[in-house]
């Protein structure tokens, strides 16, 4: 790629102005020249700031909401075809697969791209910590938000997830954009069988490579479930056909919040004969939040102009079967606006011959709900529904009975 190459997305131009690999040395030299970056290491926090948000066309929304599995599988397959060449390049070249780009407004960030799609890493600014942020992370004098965005032009969808980083000193935003491009690249290479415990050492090693020797980043034990969901998005996007080895022994449960009035939280889960990506020692702690549908404060990367009409938060829960001789069972607990009296419970059973579901409009501890679901799984219908909350919000769960993409696909819809 030449320095004058332009990339067109959403009708905007992104100009390639440099190579990410060279910038690692540029930032190392910059930080080596300033003694504050050679001071004693200071521990600060890295957290998941935002679970994935998506901007999509009404066509894709309608396919998901109606559980039109033929169209869903087709569109997810198209997204996979757009993203797969990028991920193969990242696996081969690491940070060498990324370039530095400039948007029309002058904003800079890092991008890896194919003919039909892209993944980007962008930090807009580094700002002083607020009093509340200092209380939660006393060593962090500054805060930064790093946004990872994945775009499929063919499927016409873009997804964004965000990380929050505490810093002991001010850091150039592009250095942080590069830091997360480096770190996320290593997890893309791992696929869904990564270990969440690798996140801290990899992030810190990449920071040291850039000369940020005063930084030591830490993820709180209770927050690793949230962080794992961010990494899952970076690895899987919406089309898990980009993930080698993910097949009929495993399942993905895609939870959408179509509620325009309320946020919803997935507090916890329980499993039997199943693992989840990340190998977290406390995998049942999720604490995931899905913002209300239609929130148009959608954090687009620079140069990406909103061109789709639908804004929705969703997460994909992956379940990896341990023993092929036994069923893979999982259950989740979902509540509205932090109120544990308002919500629903869902259990899913995966066996090669059929899929079973239980959906009830009450909030039950997932382990208890999983145990109580024995003998109750509905194998007759691919789509089931219930009413939840005091105002009877409709919840719908549907499975792809044909398994056309070679894996088990479930959609769980809030407020349809």
What does 144-191 look like in DSSP terms, one character per residue? EEEEEEEEETTTTEEEEEEEEEEESS---HHHHHHHHHHHHHHHHHHG
Q: Which of 197, 216, 236 is the last residue of a domain?
A: 236
Last residue of a domain, one of 236, 255, 277: 236
Average confidence score pLDDT of the chain: 90
| Cβ count near 308 (within 10 Å) | 18
Same domain, 38 and 58: yes
| 289 occurs within a structural domain | yes
Contact 290, 255 (CB under 8 A): yes
The stretch 9-38 carries a mean pLDDT of: 89
Q: Give the pairing type, strands 393-399 and 157-167.
A: unpaired
Residues 58 and 170 in one domain: yes
More confident residue, 250 or 375: 375
171 and 58 housed in the same domain: yes
Does 296 lie in the same domain as 185? no
Phi/psi-derived region of residue 13, left when phi > 0, alpha when psi is between -120 and 50, beta in every other case: beta
Quote the CA–CA distance of 196 and 230 in Å, as a whole number: 11
- Domain membership of residue 1 (yes or no) is no
pLDDT of 1 higher than 50: no
From the list 75, 77, 120, the residue with the least C-alpha distance to 101 is 120
Last residue of a domain, one of 203, 236, 269: 236
Nearest to 328 by CA among 395, 293, 276, 280: 276
For 97, which DSSP code? G
Whats the size of the chain, residue-wise? 416
Tell me whether residue 241 is in a domain. Answer: no
Name which of 9-18, 59-68, 137-146, 196-205 the model is least confident about: 9-18
pLDDT in tens, 207-238: 999 999 999 999 998 889 999 999 999 998 98
Find the domain containing 332 and state its range.
Answer: 246-414
Query: pTM to 2 decimals?
Result: 0.94
Q: Considering only CA atoms, which of 279, 165, 268, 272 is closest in space to residue 212? A: 165
12 pLDDT above the threshold of 90: no
φ and ψ at residue 108, rounded to 5 degrees: -115, 145
Which of 48-52, 56-60, 206-210, 242-246 is modeled with the greatest confidence?
Answer: 206-210
Do 265 and 150 belong to one domain? Answer: no
Question: Does 269 lie in the same domain as 121?
Answer: no
């Amino acid at each position: 790629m030449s320095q004058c190459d332009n990339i067109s997305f959403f009708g905007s131009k992104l100009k390639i102005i440099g190579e990410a690999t060279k910038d690692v040395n540029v930032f190392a030299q910059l930080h080596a020249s300033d003694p504050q970056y050679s001071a004693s290491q200071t521990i600060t926090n890295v957290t998941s700031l935002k679970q994935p948000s998506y901007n999509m066309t009404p066509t894709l929304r309608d396919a998901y909401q109606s559980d039109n599995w033929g169209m869903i599988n087709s569109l997810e397959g198209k997204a996979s075809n757009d993203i797969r060449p990028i991920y193969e390049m990242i696996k081969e070249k690491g940070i060498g697969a990324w370039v530095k780009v400039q948007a029309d407004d002058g904003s800079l960030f890092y991008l890896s791209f194919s003919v039909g799609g892209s993944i980007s890493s962008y930090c807009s600014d580094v700002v002083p910590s607020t009093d509340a942020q200092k209380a939660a992370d006393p060593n962090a004098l500054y805060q930064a938000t790093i946004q990872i965005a994945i775009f499929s032009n063919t499927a016409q969808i873009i997804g964004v997830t965000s990380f929050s980083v505490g810093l002991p000193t001010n850091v150039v935003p592009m250095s942080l954009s590069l830091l997360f491009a480096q770190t996320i690249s290593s997890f893309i290479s791992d696929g869904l069988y990564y270990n969440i415990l690798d996140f801290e050492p990899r992030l810190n090693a990449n920071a040291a490579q850039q000369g940020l020797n005063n930084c030591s980043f830490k993820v709180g034990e209770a927050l690793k479930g949230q962080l794992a969901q961010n990494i899952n998005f970076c690895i899987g996007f919406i089309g898990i056909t980009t993930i080698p080895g993910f097949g009929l022994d495993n399942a993905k449960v895609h939870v959408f919040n179509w509620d325009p009035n309320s946020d919803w939280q997935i507090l916890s889960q329980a499993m039997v004969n199943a693992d989840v990506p990340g190998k977290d020692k406390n995998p049942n702690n999720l604490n995931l939040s899905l913002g209300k549908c239609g929130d148009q404060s959608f954090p687009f990367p620079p140069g990406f102009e909103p061109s789709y009409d639908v804004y929705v938060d969703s997460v994909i829960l992956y379940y990896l079967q341990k023993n092929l001789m036994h069923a893979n069972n999982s259950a989740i607990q979902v509540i509205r606006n932090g109120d544990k009296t308002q919500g629903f419970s869902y259990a899913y059973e995966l066996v090669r011959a059929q899929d079973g579901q239980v959906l009830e409009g009450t909030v039950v501890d997932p382990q208890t709900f999983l145990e109580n679901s024995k003998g109750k799984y509905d194998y007759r219908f691919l789509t089931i529904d219930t009413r939840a909350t005091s105002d009877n919000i409709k919840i719908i769960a549907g499975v792809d009975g044909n398994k056309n993409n070679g894996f088990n696909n479930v959609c769980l819809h809030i407020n349809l």
